[in-house]
Amino acid sequence: CFSKSQGIPCCSKNAGVVYEDYTGSWGVENGQWCGIGNGKKSTPTNCFAKALGYPCCSSGNTNVIFTDSSGKWGAENGNWCGIGTSS
């Protein structure tokens, strides 16, 4: 699975998805993160936030919390993330 390349083990087959980001789906087993499946094929390339040191929002329906000259910002798991392309 995709998470092995990040040093995180793969989940067992019956693990449920707890979180999804641009790399793939994540579960938790025995109190530890684990990767589910083969991950996503590519990282979003149309996101302004990467150039500013922030991740792109993984969900296409993330609520806009703030808008500035760079673009629209949302939050996932308590962290800022960029939504789509620059404004």
pLDDT band (50, 70, 90) for residue 57: confident
pLDDT(44) > 70: no
Q: Which residue has the tokens 């979003």?
A: 44
List, for residues 22-43, the tens digit of each pLDDT value: 788 899 999 999 999 887 655 4
Residue 41 has a pLDDT of 55
Q: Is the dihedral of CA 58, 74, 50, 86 positive or negative?
A: positive
pLDDT band (50, 70, 90) for residue 20: confident
Provide φ and ψ at 81, rounded to 5°.
-150, 150
> In whole numbers, what is the pLDDT of the chain averaged over residues?
83
Structural domains present in the chain = 2-36 (3.90.1220.10), 48-83 (3.90.1220.10)
